[in-house]
Amino acid sequence: MNENTQKLYQQGVSLWLDNITRKILDDGTLEKYITDLGITGLTSNPTIFDNAIAGSDDYDNAIKEAGKNGLSDEEVFFTLAIDDIQRAADLFLPVFKRTNGLDGFVSIEVSPLLAYDTESTIQAAKKIHAKVNRPNVFIKIPGTPEGLPAVEKVIEEGIPVNITLLFSADQYINAAKAWLKGVEARAEKGLNPDVKSVASVFVSRWDKAVEDKVSKALRNNVGIAVMQKTYVAYLKFLQSAPVQKLMNQGVFPQRLLWASTGTKDPKASDILYVKELVAPYTINTMPEQTLHAFADHGEADKLMSRTDSGAEVIFYKMMACSINHLVLAEQLQSEGAESFTKSWNHLMETIQKKRKEIS
């Protein structure tokens, strides 16, 4: 086991890979990441699948076979993605069992086109969950105002959910409440209330958004400040009476996941959003480049503060630059949804093009 990644895990942080390709499944790379680097889960999104399918011929045969059945481009995609997700989930199953079902998850997302359609999101989540048919798979649902009611209902159905596209403490709290309502509904019905969930809060997009609007002193500090504020809200949620009542009924509380943790600024540390976000009972999902960098020169000694006073100072300085972090959080969520939609549309175009080329 790599010494640096092991230290991170010993501090209570689960290290997940933010990537999936058929290549790393076929050549044993993912299995090696599990055994050698200690990753305990995996996330995916439309952009990751788009790059994997467009950038190789690894999926061509599967696309050709799926196309013979008269499937739509979206159905072809989910055929490919579900196969990859099932294989990854099987590799992580020992982790899932070892941690009593807490860790070892992989994630697959509903169509981003449904980000503002509650009922369609619920139906899509149920359909994908049934097709994947693995206990250690999260269905990713965006934490938009329309997505959160879907989260509540999907959790109530007993389906594990990764709530994505969160950018602030307030958005995190709303996502946590959606999980809580779903779990409480199960408890009231006498069902097993232990439905796993993670709340994915995006980090690096903050610093990218403000890089030309703040002083040098604030650059690459805004994302960390927002996460600090979110972490304090997370601790408060974990310590709340409703959550602890559910814990007494055997529920593992929803975990906080740090997403978008690859450093965008080439002048900043390539492990910035890992070493600064070391906190027990959290997850850090990172791209391969960041994973290798942390394995090489990772730092995991400093735990995050359990107060947000430092974050408030950063927010005050942002206001002096005419940046309201609450307004920007809403903008980033909207832009994130639009970005995933663009990636999804490009993914559909890629599959359509591939089908024509290999037919």
Active site members? 140
| CA–CA gap between residue 250 and residue 248 (Å, rounded) | 5
Residue linked to tokens 């061509």: 60
| CA–CA gap between residue 161 and residue 200 (Å, rounded) | 10
Cα dihedral across residues 291, 16, 344, 52: positive or negative: positive
| CA–CA gap between residue 141 and residue 147 (Å, rounded) | 6
Residue linked to tokens 């002193």: 217
Tell which residue, 144, 134, 149, has the closest CA to residue 164.
144
Task: Give bridge partners of residue 166 from the DSSP assignment.
Answer: 201
HSE (side-chain half, CA atoms, 13 Å) at 34: 22
108-121: buried (b, 16+ CB within 10 Å) or exposed (e) per residue?
bbbbbbbbebbeeb
Collect contacts of 22-27 with beta carbons under 8 A, ≥24 apart: 22/52, 22/56, 22/58, 22/59, 22/84, 23/52, 23/56, 23/58, 25/84, 25/87, 25/88, 26/58
